Amino acid sequence: MNSEESAENSTDAENTDASEGQTNDSENPEKPDIPEEQGTKVLVAYFSATNTTQGIAEHIANGLNADIYEIVPEEPYTDADLNYNDNNSRTTIEMNDPDARPAISGSVEDMEQYDIVFIGYPIWWGEAPRIVSTFVESYDFSGKTIVPFCTSGGSGVGSSATNLEQLTDGADWLPGKRLNGSDSQDTVMEWVNGLGLDFGE
């Protein structure tokens, strides 16, 4: 009984300290060291109109054994929609309007569980397609690390990722990366593994 009481007392004392916010790990060296990477979950989300970005997204997801999510437009993009030589095509109209937010079909199941979210897209007129804006505005990314990547006909990532970043709050965005649609899984994973992120594997 006595020993139980003294154990209770010492617990109380610790609780008092903690409630005052006076203790931390460095003052409590006997506390077990729980690795921070435990339970790190990665999502690879992508939009791809002609499957180029999809290939890169699959390389990342396979390489990391991560979940993958395709951003699917409610209204699919036809070849005519994708015609950038037509001033009146759907993509031209959308990209001329920074506030355009094409609707997405479906959603990520339990976005909250993810710590790191890769977001991939093709470059359209130097930017991310507006549907990617719809995507980033649809979730709370605070506390998450976001890794933007893109494919293109030659343009770099430009300001596409930093423009997306402005649409989110409290997320840690890494610099965007342009990849070649033909990049091998090894090439893609070389970039991924060089990001300095702890994927918890």
Ligand X SMILES: Cc1cc2nc3c(=O)[nH]c(=O)nc-3n(C[C@H](O)[C@H](O)[C@H](O)COP(=O)(O)O)c2cc1C
Binding site for ligand X (CB under 6 A): 48-54, 82, 84, 91, 122-126, 151-155, 181
Least Å from the CB of residue 180 to ligand X: 9
Nearer to ligand X, 116 or 128 (CB): 128
Q: What is the pairing mode between strands 72-73 and 104-105?
A: antiparallel
Kindly state the smallest distance separating residue 120's Cβ from ligand X, in Å. 8
Going by DSSP bridges, is the β-strand pair 172-173/145-151 parallel, antiparallel, or unpaired? parallel
In whole angstroms, how close is the CB of 179 to ligand X at the nearest point?
9
82 vs 195, beta carbon nearer ligand X: 82
Largest CA distance in the chain: 85
Whether the Cβ atoms of residue 135 and residue 164 lie closer than 8 Å to each other: no
Any residues with CB less than 8 A from the CB of 121 and at least 6 apart, and which? 46, 47, 48, 53, 128, 129, 132, 148, 150, 160
Which residue's CB is nearer to ligand X, number 63 or number 181?
Answer: 181
> Shortest distance, CB of residue 118 to ligand X, whole angstroms?
14
For ligand X, the closer CB: 40 or 45? 45
| Alpha-helical regions (H) of 21-106 | 52-64, 90-95
> What contacts 135, CB < 8 A, 6 or more positions away?
45, 47, 71, 104, 119
Q: How far is the CB of 160 from ligand X (least distance, A)?
A: 9
DSSP-derived letter for residue 84 is T
91/134 with CB nearer ligand X = 91
Give the nearer residue to ligand X in terms of CB position, either 121 or 141: 121
CB of 54 to ligand X, least distance (A): 6
Distances (CA, A) of 89 to 83, 103, 132: 6, 17, 18
